[in-house]
Chains A and B, each alone.
Chain A
Amino acid sequence: MEQVLRGVAGAVTAITGFEKGSGKTAFLSLALPHARQAGPVALFTIGSDGASGPAKRSRSAGIRVEPGDVVLTTEPLARASESRFEILHTVPGRVALGRLVLGRARRGGCVTLVGAEHFSALSQAMTLIRAEGWAASALIDGAVARMTQIAALPGWAPPGPESTRSAGRLQFAFAVRADRGNLARVAARIRLLDRLADLPLDDGRDPEVLRLEGPLTSEGLRALPQGTAAFSLEDFTKVFVEPPEFLRALEARRVLVRRTFHLLCFAVILRDLSRQAFLEALGPHGAPRILFNPYEAA
């Protein structure tokens, strides 16, 4: 577990969950001390899992920060925090909870992160943090529904095909809560994501590879020109096809991506389910990336 979590140091890690209560924020808190090994950490949230109302929509639970950590929150929440913040930057726009600011913690304490209304504001904030050297790593608490948007965020390295599995990468960690009720669905999604994360890189040199733009849907998959032996997507977050259908497509055609992201792990919390039962449901794929219940006592 320690080895996996060390992978967040120096990287931009988006922690996404399949559904509400999957443990994203808890996993972020767990990863935070490991990220600090590389220096100050920037902490963001994007959306939330099913919360509603203007105030709740972009707000996450409190996170404990240490001096040097950089957070995106609002001025009133920064003021109300146990921590004290040095104001580094004001983010354009305003959310229901007040004006958004980037603040650097001067004292340890809990603070509530707040997400920007527009993704472009978050993207700009991240670019600025990197350019100013305010943080060495970033952790983003974001719902899985926002994965496509997260993929558009800048890594610490310049985006583009060259931004692959290298330092400064943008990577994903998935928080998953599994029980008997959702086991089949969760296992299918993990299998799919595991395959997607391993899709080979399209270097643009193979003329047989059809380059698709935008999201891939069931309809788009069926509308592929006859005889298409290989196609490439911008990145794996552009797949909006049910797992069985996409896995069938993978058997019939070569699928590549033009930008790869590292998949750090699936942090799996099991309820009333043994590891053995979960692994059996999962099948041969995905097991190496599973981080079983990181909160389980040794």
Chain B
Amino acid sequence: MREFFTYAEFEDFWQKFRPLTPFGREVHARRPVQTRADELEALWDQTQVALDLLAGCDEFQASRLSHHLKRLPRIPREERALYDEVELFQVKKFLHNYRALVQRLPESVQRFFGLEWPCQDLLERLGVGRQSPETFYVSDEYSDELAGIRAEIRRADETLARIRARRAAEIEEAWNLGFGTREFLVVPRERLRSPGDSPEAGLARMERWLLVEAYDQAHVLVRPRASAEELRLEEERSGLQARERAAEDRVLEDLSSRVRAELPHLEACRKAVQAFDLALARARLSREQALTRPRLTLEGPIHIQGGRFVPCEETCRRLGTTYRPLEATFDTSATVVFGSNMGGKTVVLKTLAFLQACAQTGLFVPAGRFVTRVFHSFHYVGEGAERGPSQGLSGFGFEVRQFNRVWRDLDQPTLALFDEFARTTHSQEAEALISAILEALAGNPRAVALFSTHFRGVRRLPGVRYLRMKGLDRKGLDFGQAKAEGPDSGQATGTDLDQRIRLIDNHMEYLLVPDEGIPRNSDALAVATLLGMDPALAGRAERFFLEGNETTS
């Protein structure tokens, strides 16, 4: 599966699909592939509803929906005896934004996604006292006991502040030390010695007021020493704080029991908003990328009209070349696509892979029309597939191992793409192997397999469709120009190479047409000439090629 998605170059596109809630992002991170038609249809229905909603929204309304979705936090899902303040905060913030979101949606959309609002009492209870709708605080108003304790703490704090201010004033008067907002001061040692004091008397007097630590040879570090009254009040405050914690715990227990009672409702809200978030993200992507809803067929042909392989389309846009969407019908279990190098046969396979990846991850697809089946297994066999830990296998050996995996899955709906399968072995053996596979697949209605290949000697078998890329349109091409550029032209790089590639692109007809098995001029040799190969050498090769065709025909 992963190799298939890599081959389809789907990952970057998937990253453009951006759910806004943590619940939606969880699904995005898993990238589930749907293998049930009814589930896919349900997802696409949701996308359609979200698209209709966006069509009826102005920019501001749409931004408000995003605003509330983005602010939905995760919420606790397990039943617990005590939820802490953070969890209660999450529940409150979730409910506030969930309610605001639901209120902004038409009733039909609320009903469709099951976006009900059952938790009004809980939200009100979590907002008791003076606090903002998206924050949480165990306010005094939750309990008279708590309010009373906090009032005592306030009084203790005020008294402590007064005592400390008085003590600071006394220290300033006695020692001329103004602490201001500083917790400690660095003082020259001689400042602490009064003229008439003996050292012992001076130290005793000083230590009544100040804690003194050595700082360096000339200075000491001093901080005010707490008076007995201050220490008593601090102790008292500490006791009050312990009582405050206990009172807060009782509030938290009460709120926790209310959250526990609403957990089923909260879970329903979470699921509904997750579905809505994902649908809205799919709808936004559909609008940005001009996607359409795919159609499903049970065992009918795959139809692609105007199918766009978005990574290639973006590359063409960047390079300033024309991108040609794919028109194709795959109405047999096995299809062979012939074509020269740079003729676009790999892009045909990738386009199908890309569209199928979009469809089965629940997205709409970049195509004018895409009729397809639901597959349960997806395979790519060819170059670039991951080799895994096995050692000592050749490229062909790996392909055979890849194929064995396909073979094992063929009893279930399978999409298998073979990009130049067996290209590294002897051509006759490769043709024989591909022919045998084609024969076996032709009679399997559960599979859809596409083979891109250069091997023209594969058997023409009933039940197998043979197509080719239309290839190079040689009209207006000046093959002599490559020669004129001299012997270095074979090492074309940079701008020159870009121009040559663009020339090939502009003359290549990326069209699938039926292949009747009639020998044609070699596009590969023409491409080699256009890429700078000596035309005399290419011409000689063309002659050998045609002689070979005459011999075989």
Contacts and interface: CB of A to CB of B under 8 A. Distances in A.
B86 A99 contact: yes
Interface in B343-370: none
A271 B137 CA distance: 45
A19 interface: no
Interface string B50-93: 00000000000000000000000100000000001110011000
Contacts of A108: 157
B86 A295 contact: no
B216 A84 contact: no
B182 A295 contact: yes
A75 B185 contact: no
B297 to A, nearest CB: 44
Contacts of A106: 137
Contacts of A33: 181
A107 B221 CA distance: 29
Interface in B153-205: 153-154, 157, 176-178, 181-188, 191
A90 B136 contact: no
B64 to A, nearest CB: 16
B35 interface: no
A1 to B, nearest CB: 11
Give the residue among A32, A101, A295 with the most B Cβ atoms within 10 A: A295
Contacts of B131: 86
Contacts of A78: 85
Contacts of B176: 297
B217 interface: yes
B13 interface: no
Q: How large is the interface on A (under 10, 10 to 19, 20 to 34, 35 or more residues)?
A: 20 to 34
A87 B183 contact: no
Nearest to A5: B181
Contact of A272 (B85, B89, B184, B216): B216
Interface string A286-297: 000000011111
A26 interface: yes
B68 to A, nearest CB: 15
B185 to A, nearest CB: 5
A82 B89 contact: no
B218 interface: yes
B215 A86 contact: no
B143 interface: no
B427 interface: no
If over half of A's interface residues share one DSSP class (helix, strand or loop), that class is named, otherwise mixed; here it is mixed
Contacts of B218: 272
A229 to B, nearest CB: 29
Nearest to A293: B186
B186 A295 contact: yes
A173 B510 CA distance: 63
Given A75-B84, A104-B135, A272-B218, A298 B182 contact: no
B408 to A, nearest CB: 41
Contact of B245 (A29, A32, A79, A86): A79
B241 interface: yes
A281 interface: no
A90 B91 CA distance: 12
Contacts of A32: 181
Interface string B139-157: 0000000000010011001
A123 to B, nearest CB: 17
B157 A296 contact: no
Given A79-B85, A272-B216, A88 B183 contact: no
A217 B365 CA distance: 49
Given A271-B215, A272-B218, A84 B86 contact: no
A224 interface: no
A295 B217 contact: no
A51 interface: no
Contacts of A297: 176-178, 185-188, 191
Interface string A117-140: 000000000000000000000000
A30 interface: yes
Interface string B97-114: 000000000000000000
Contacts of A179: 216
A30 B150 CA distance: 28
A126 B90 CA distance: 20
Contacts of A270: 216
Nearest to A86: B137
Nearest to B22: A92
Top 3 A-B pairs ranked by shortest CB distance?
A: A86-B137, A87-B89, A272-B216
Given A82-B241, A297-B185, A297-B191, 10 more contacts: A29-B181, A29-B182, A78-B85, A79-B84, A87-B135, A87-B136, A99-B86, A269-B186, A271-B216, A296-B219
30 contacts: A29-B182, A29-B183, A30-B182, A33-B181, A75-B85, A75-B86, A78-B85, A82-B237, A86-B131, A86-B135, A86-B137, A87-B85, A90-B86, A90-B89, A90-B90, A99-B86, A101-B89, A269-B186, A272-B216, A272-B218, A293-B186, A294-B182, A296-B185, A296-B187, A296-B219, A297-B176, A297-B177, A297-B185, A297-B186, A297-B188
Interface of A: 26, 29-30, 32-33, 75, 78-79, 82, 84-88, 90, 99, 101, 104, 106-108, 179, 269-272, 293-298
Interface of B: 73, 84-86, 89-90, 131, 135-138, 150, 153-154, 157, 176-178, 181-188, 191, 215-219, 221, 237, 241, 245
